[in-house]
C-alpha cells in the first residue's frame, strides 16, 4: 500500500481523502523534529506532508529515497529546499491560493479596526468612559493603498479594497498587471513615495529576505500604515521600530514576525520589543491571517486534489 507520512496538523479531509483512495496514512502531528528522519527511514513513504515546523532541507533529504513528493499545507515553500528537491526529482506541492480570501479578510479587518480605532474604543467604553472625539475614525475610501506582490493574496485584498473605494498602487516584479480606474501598476519606489497604506504579499526568498529595511522606509514619503501578512523575515525588525520612531511610518500592522512565536525573540532584542509592543500605533496577530476555519479545510482539500492528480 502507498504510504503518506503527515508530520503536522492538517484538516481531517486530507487524511480521509487519502485513505479513501488507497493510501496508508501515518499521521503524526506532534512528532518531535529530531524523530522525523528515523520515521522516514522506518515508514518509507511515497509522500510527506508538512506545514511549518519541519524543515525539508539537505540533512533530512538524504533519507528521502522512497519519497516522490513533498506537500506543504500552506502558502509558500520557504521551509523546503526547493533546488535540492528538484535535483532529486521530488515533486513539490503547496496550497497557494487556498487561503487567499482568509488573508485578505484578516488584513482588511486589521486595517479598518486601526483606522476606526475599534480596539481602543471597545476598551474605552468597557472602562466606563465615552471619549467620542479621540475615537473618531478615518475612512479608507479614496486612500492610496500600495500592494507589493499581486499574486493570490495580494489580488484578493486588492479586490476588497477597491470595493470599498480605495485606489491601488501595485508593484509586482514578476507579473504584468493591467491598469484600471482604481488600479495603477507602478515601480517600487513610486509606490513607496505615494502610498497611504502599504501591504506586503511576497514569498520569502533570498531576494525578499530583509527587504523592508531603513533604505526602503526612508523613501516612504506619506508616512504610510505598513502591513505585513507574508513572512516576518522580509523585514528587519529593528528597522521597522526605527521607522515608527522617526515617523516614517504612521502605524504598523503585523501578522508575521522575524521571530515566531514571539517568545523566541532573542534576549538582545527584548528592550526594543518592549518599547515597540506598547505603542498605540502598532497592532499584531499571531500569524493567523491565512488560517481561518474555512481556509484550514480549503488547504487540505487543495492538497488532496494535487496529490490524487499526481501521475509520477
Residue 57's pLDDT is: 81
Residue 138's pLDDT is: 98
Closest CA to 272 of 288, 255, 285, 259: 259
Domains and CATH numbers, the chain: 2-98+294-308 (3.40.50.720), 100-284 (3.40.50.720)
Q: What is the pLDDT of residues 83-93, one digit of tens each?
A: 989 998 999 99
- Cell 511515497 -> residue: 46
Residue 78's pLDDT is: 87
CA distances from 250 to 134, 165, 178 (A): 16, 21, 30
Residue 1's pLDDT is: 82
Residue 160's pLDDT is: 98
Residue 53's pLDDT is: 84
At a CB cut-off of 8 Å and minimum separation 6, what does 83 contact? Answer: none
User: Is residue 101 within 8 Å of residue 289, measured between CB atoms?
Assistant: no
| C-alpha torsion sign, points 92, 147, 293, 123 | positive
Residue 52's pLDDT is: 85
- Which residues of the chain carry a pLDDT beneath 70? none
User: Is residue 4 within 8 Å of residue 46, measured between CB atoms?
Assistant: yes
Residue 158's pLDDT is: 98
Amino acid at each position: 500500500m502507498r504510504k503518506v507520512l503527515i508530520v503536522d496538523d492538517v484538516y481531517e479531509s486530507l487524511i480521509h481523502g487519502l485513505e479513501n483512495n488507497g493510501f496508508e496514512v501515518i499521521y503524526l502531528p506532534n512528532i518531535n523534529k529530531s524523530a522525523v528522519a528515523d520515521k522516514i527511514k522506518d515508514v518509507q513513504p511515497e509522500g510527506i506532508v508538512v506545514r511549518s515546523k519541519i524543515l525539508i532541507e539537505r540533512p533530512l533529504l538524504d533519507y528521502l529515497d522512497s519519497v516522490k513528493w513533498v506537500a506543504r499545507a500552506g502558502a509558500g515553500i520557504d521551509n523546503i529546499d526547493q533546488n535540492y528537491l528538484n535535483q532529486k526529482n521530488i515533486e513539490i506541492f503547496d496550497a497557494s491560493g487556498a487561503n487567499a480570501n482568509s488573508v485578505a479578510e484578516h488584513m482588511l479587518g486589521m486595517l479598518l479596526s486601526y483606522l476606526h480605532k475599534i480596539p481602543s474604543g471597545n476598551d474605552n467604553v468597557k472602562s466606563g468612559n465615552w471619549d467620542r472625539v479621540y475615537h473618531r475614525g478615518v475612512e479608507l475610501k479614496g486612500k492610496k493603498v500600495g500592494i507589493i506582490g499581486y499574486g493570490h493574496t495580494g489580488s484578493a485584498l486588492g479586490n476588497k479594497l477597491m470595493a470599498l473605494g480605495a485606489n491601488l498602487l501595485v508593484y509586482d516584479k514578476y507579473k504584468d498587471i493591467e491598469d484600471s480606474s482604481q488600479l495603477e501598476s507602478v515601480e517600487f519606489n513610486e509606490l513607496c513615495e505615494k502610498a497611504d497604506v502599504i501591504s506586503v504579499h511576497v514569498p520569502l526568498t533570498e531576494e525578499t529576505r530583509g527587504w523592508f529595511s531603513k533604505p526602503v522606509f526612508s523613501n516612504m514619503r506619506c508616512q504610510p500604515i505598513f502591513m505585513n501578512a507574508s513572512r516576518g523575515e522580509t523585514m528587519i525588525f529593528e528597522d521597522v521600530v526605527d521607522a515608527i520612531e522617526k515617523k516614517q511610518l504612521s502605524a504598523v500592522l503585523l501578522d508575521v514576525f522575524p521571530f515566531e512565536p514571539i517568545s523566541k525573540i532573542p534576549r538582545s532584542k527584548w528592550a526594543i520589543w518592549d518599547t515597540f509592543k506598547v505603542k498605540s500605533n502598532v497592532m499584531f496577530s499571531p500569524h493567523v491571517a491565512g488560517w481561518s476555519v474555512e481556509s484550514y479545510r480549503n488547504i487540505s482539500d487543495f492538497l488532496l486534489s494535487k496529490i490524487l492528480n499526481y501521475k509520477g
